[in-house]
Structure 1
């Protein structure tokens, strides 16, 4: 009873005193200095400039588990908190990223797909290298065994698909525990792809999960799929990086539908957002965007509710709507909603 009362009091304080609510930003990288992969690799000069900005800007770089635990327990995250994550465990993490982060004494987390490491595939770190990093304080977490998309169900019924997902997550977790002593249940969706069914299964296995849809983590973020800012891809310049790490989470209390999977015939998808009644962003200045289309209409439904629909169908595959609003201090409030768009139905045989 006392614990429930304390939680209720904390929730009241967070509503009444919005200044107590701050947001964390999770950065996502893949490769470092690997120019052959421009879509997923960041140049070393650009990476060093980003780290320098974090240091000079007074940001607090924390272990990812600290933000995950705050989400689980409902605790606020101190302002200007950043966690650094890297997906896939490529060799350039060991050769290029780790020395630069170690020199600053900064923690980071590597999400490992374990099968490529077990098979000794070129371009990936070895378990021995990861043990060396873990002994120095680097954290490792679950990216599945094979890195296959967990959304696709090639010839599988519901039971077979659920069994495969469990084998992917629990098999990878067992390897991480055996090789590196990993016990924390943190999981990054391969390719950032998830839907409500997959997210529910992952959460049911006890994992806090992470996507690749941009945005800070805030009080209303969902532990089934926490957002991360992909900053290692081509085209992320210094100004854009500074804007993203300074962003706050748009206080989206409800998103309908939450499920990213778009049913056949519902493209472009219709998104309804309800903002929480807290100080911060001006709802009248909310602007939303769709990839390849730029700004899209925002329909105000009354109060703090809005509806967003792209002007034209989104291309098949991964897509997103991004909504932002300026804050009084020049920092932006940010929310991205991912979509999984089905292929267009084929016509009748000619």
Structure 2
């Protein structure tokens, strides 16, 4: 009896240690943030600004695989981060915009081969019109059946901030009807066409049933992000090498509060914008390491107000169209904290 009791205790001890070997590392290295990658076209060299070469994309997937990145469905990432639940270390999401045919032919099979989940954001008009270079509804259904998640990009992929809210509501309703008919359900996520966003666009998107929105500005998702305007790292031929991918997938959030301006859609009264935020006190001791750059790699002036307030100043008004600001902060392990913002200046102020 004593031998049996001793063996039972040894067995329990071994099981407990095995459980600790699994649970403790997860808790020690779990994260509350995640990076989302974004792609458009695959192997379409005629469109270098939205295309990733096949060689580049294969290299990206290999980098994620051999380094044990946790490529996770985006809805699962959003649910965890939003609710303050831990994610596995190295959590990455993959998003595809526009439902180009090259994704169906090239990108999707490569993701399937690596067992990597993904989300496709779709504007419904090109599929309805059977536009050249786009997927068909049958092809999209095939991908959904294989596990793809679907998000919206409106019906016609319009410039939402410059359209009337009536037009935007019509576009979202029209596309939602088409999604329901063709796929049997209405998406809850939207990727704003061209990454263009405004507070009015957020309102009409919420009113249309969307609970998550994505732009095209760089950055990392964490619990206090604006979940109606989340960042993604965009890749194309010019910005698609492994050095940039490694920088992106290892990025950390630059945790801020009191971001201004709230609305990135600029009029003449607030152009250039006073781009500002409150930074964590522990980072203020190294504030000289914070750097902010505009779209054309112009280094911007940083001013410190009070104990934690940072304001980023441009030298001149932003031109009509899209302008991005990226602020980065180095960490000792070679990783970078990242905050991005995309502004839009209307082409006409009338």
Per the normalisation by structure 1, the TM-score is: 0.86
In the TM superposition, what is the alpha-carbon distance from 1:37 to its structure 2 partner?
A: 0.6
**In the alignment, which of 198, 206, 209 is matched to residue 213 of structure 2?**
209
- Distance in 1 separating the partners of 2:309 and 2:118: 37
Equivalent residue, structure 2, for 1:131:
141
Work out which of the two has the higher radius of gyration on C-alpha atoms and give 1 or 2: 2
**In the alignment, which of 65, 69, 82 is matched to residue 55 of structure 1?**
65
- Distance in 2 separating the partners of 1:53 and 1:242: 8
Is the 1:141–1:176 Cα contact (8 Å) retained in structure 2? no
1:186 correspondence with 2:196: no
Q: Residues 326, 280 of structure 1: CA spacing in aligned structure 2 closer, same or farther, 3 A cutoff?
A: farther
Q: What residue ranges of structure 1 are gaps of 5+ in the alignment?
A: 1-16, 154-160
Q: Residues 134, 20 of structure 1: CA spacing in aligned structure 2 closer, same or farther, 3 A cutoff?
A: closer
Where 2:65 maps in the other structure, the secondary structure is: helix
- Any idea what the Cα deviations from partners look like across 1:82-103, whole Å, max 9, x if unmatched? 1111111000111000110000
Q: What residue ranges of structure 2 are gaps of 5+ in the alignment?
A: 1-26
Where 1:303 maps in the other structure, the secondary structure is: coil
Equivalent residue, structure 1, for 2:170:
167
Q: Residues 23, 339 of structure 1: CA spacing in aligned structure 2 closer, same or farther, 3 A cutoff?
A: same
**In the alignment, which of 85, 96, 110 is matched to residue 95 of structure 2?**
85
Aligned length: 323
Question: Which runs of structure 2 are paired with 1:1-350 in the superposition (5 Å)?
Answer: 21-153=31-163, 161-207=164-210, 208-277=212-281, 282-343=286-347
Between 264-273 and 175-184, the greater mean CA deviation after superposition = 175-184
Is the 1:186–1:209 Cα contact (8 Å) retained in structure 2? yes
Is the 1:23–1:79 Cα contact (8 Å) retained in structure 2? no
- Any idea what the Cα deviations from partners look like across 1:149-174, whole Å, max 9, x if unmatched? 11123xxxxxxx33321221222122
Equivalent residue, structure 1, for 2:17:
none
- Distance in 2 separating the partners of 1:343 and 1:205: 27
Q: Residues 174, 280 of structure 1: CA spacing in aligned structure 2 closer, same or farther, 3 A cutoff?
A: farther
Is the 2:29–2:89 Cα contact (8 Å) retained in structure 1? no
- Any idea what the Cα deviations from partners look like across 1:166-217, whole Å, max 9, x if unmatched? 2212221221222123344000101111111111221233311100011111
CA root-mean-square deviation = 2.3
Per the normalisation by structure 2, the TM-score is: 0.86
Is the 1:282–1:327 Cα contact (8 Å) retained in structure 2? no
In the TM superposition, what is the alpha-carbon distance from 1:248 to its structure 2 partner?
A: 0.8
